[in-house]
């Protein structure tokens, strides 16, 4: 089974939207009150994604998927920081992502 087949469907949509640099599609998978943290520090979702994803051409290549498809390790690359191994954990509520946590792995 491929790593994509192991992902929760809404997490797959998050990854696909991020990799397509599609801001509208990306935000459509998040709840209105979605929260996030980066390396354990709470961040504003809109500001963080603008800086770390959309303005810097962020891309995620998944290495492994665990915990029923809501936790993953990925090689994350953007023009701001280059490439780094990252961990991601998602909280899914009512078919959307209500929280994601990321950081260097």
Q: What CATH number does the domain containing 27 carry?
A: 3.10.450.50
Q: Is the pLDDT of residue 2 over 70?
A: no
Q: What is the number of domains present in the chain? A: 1
Q: Is the pLDDT of residue 91 over 70?
A: yes
Q: How far apart are CA 57 and CA 75, in angstroms?
A: 14
Is the pTM higher than 0.85? The answer reads yes
Across 40-48, average pLDDT: 97
Domain span at residue 83 reads 3-104
What distances in angstroms separate CA 36 from CA 5, 18, 29, 98, 105, one per listed residue? 24, 15, 14, 8, 16
What percent of the chain is helix, strand and coil (3-state, nearest 5)? 30, 45, 20
């Amino acid at each position: 089974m491929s790593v994509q087949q192991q992902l929760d469907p809404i997490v797959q949509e998050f990854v696909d939207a991020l990799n397509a640099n599609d801001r509208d599609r990306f935000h459509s998978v998040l709840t209105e009150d979605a929260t996030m943290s980066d390396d354990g520090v709470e961040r504003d979702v809109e500001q963080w994604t603008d800086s770390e994803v959309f303005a810097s051409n962020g891309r995620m290549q998944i290495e492994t998927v665990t915990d029923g498809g809501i936790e993953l390790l990925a090689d994350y690359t953007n023009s701001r920081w280059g490439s780094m191994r990252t961990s991601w954990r998602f909280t899914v509520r009512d078919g959307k992502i209500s929280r994601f946590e990321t950081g260097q792995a």
